[in-house]
Amino acid sequence: MSTTLVIIPTYNECENIPLIVARVRSSVPDAHILVVDDSSPDGTGALADALAEADARVHVLHRLDKTGLGAAYLEGFGWGLSHGYDQLVQLDADGSHLPEQLPSLLAAAATADVVMGSRWVPGGAVKNWPWHRRVLSQGGSIYSRALLRLPQRDVTGGYRVYSAHALDTMKLSSVESLGYCFQIDMLLHAVRARLTVVEVPITFVERTLGSSKMSGRIVIEAMARVTLWGASGMGVRRSRTATETSLQKS
């Protein structure tokens, strides 16, 4: 059995899901894929079922309600851990996370508990973003890092690899964020648990098919939660350098 599970949450991604599954299968042929669909009205779930019927390495988890990206990932993590996978990968369905870069993240995972694909370390890049999206993303990371004392550069990025040990150690039942703030919440749990976290540079590419679920309101809500965490003393005491490691690989 494969030790790696690539988790792909979906909501109305019928245009993208066949493409992203094919690219993952090509880039990491031994990995398994779990599509976590939130009852997409556009038929994404049924399309994922057809992909799973044709390929034993593809699996589908259907959720009855659309309760946020974080909730979908948490269910996906639970499914992966119960099925014995050692490495669990977060990957967007829209193609913004390049599956072709996943081998570099998995290589780094051989010596780390958590690997983050980072846009904001040397070698990282963003393509096809307007200036205001770049400012919003970098500004959110800088604000969150400062308030929570997180050493990592790209705290909102969602292209990640977690070891099963890391997810067990992080006590996922205490992760309270289900939306955009989920990535920050997970990183905060990892660093506070004194896990080894590394950043690997990636190129983030804006989607070309389908519509983005991101909005200014979602970001504002996330930053409000980060502000509350910072004010309540939930930040990290930077007491160990292992959590501050970055792998500068292209």
Q: Which domains does the chain have, with CATH numbers?
A: 4-244 (3.90.550.10)
Query: What is the amino acid identity at position 54?
Result: A
What's the pLDDT score for residue 35?
Answer: 98
pLDDT, tens digit, for every residue of 149-199? 899 999 999 999 999 999 999 989 888 787 778 999 999 999 999 999 999
More confident residue, 177 or 125: 125
pLDDT, tens digit, for every residue of 15-70? 999 999 999 999 999 999 999 999 999 999 999 999 999 999 999 999 998 888 89
DSSP 3-state of 187: helix
Cα–Cα distance between 62 and 89 in angstroms, integer? 18
DSSP 3-state of 131: helix
Beta strands in 11-92 (DSSP E): 32-37, 58-62, 87-90
Helix axes 69-82, 182-192, angle to 10 degrees: 50
